[in-house]
Amino acid sequence: MENAKSYSGLFIISPELLETMGDVQTRIKAIISENAGEVVSENVMGKKALAYPINKKSEGIYYEIVFNAPPASVDKITKQCRISNDIMRTVIDKRPK
């Protein structure tokens, strides 16, 4: 992958989906792969209390993923994740070299 940069994505997933967390993880990885990205590592941080309610929920499942992708595809990945009803918040940051 030429021009690929390293990114870190943090996703807050609806707490009701703890049982089907594997499906949500697979969907997020598929979105990254469809947009010319490559997953490097992932970490399910578990269910945690939110600083403020999101969609009337006070907890969320935190899921972190590190991936490489061309800079142009990061906006597409972010948009597709924000459309999903299962993902309450999406934050993608460029990782330092």
- Cα 88 to its chain centre, rounded Å, is 10
Query: What's the pLDDT band for 77 if we cut at 50, 70, 90?
Result: very high
Task: Tell me the per-residue pLDDT of 2-39, one tens digit each, with 9 for 90 and over.
Answer: 688 999 999 999 999 989 999 999 999 999 999 999 99
- Considering only CA atoms, which of 24, 1, 2 is closest in space to residue 11? 24
List the beta strands (DSSP E) in the chain: 5-13, 38-54, 57-69, 87-94
Beta bridge partners of 57: 54
Q: Which domains does the chain have, with CATH numbers?
A: 5-94 (3.30.70.60)
- Of 2 and 48, the structure prediction assigns the larger pLDDT to 48
CA distances from 36 to 49, 51, 59, 86 (A): 33, 33, 32, 23
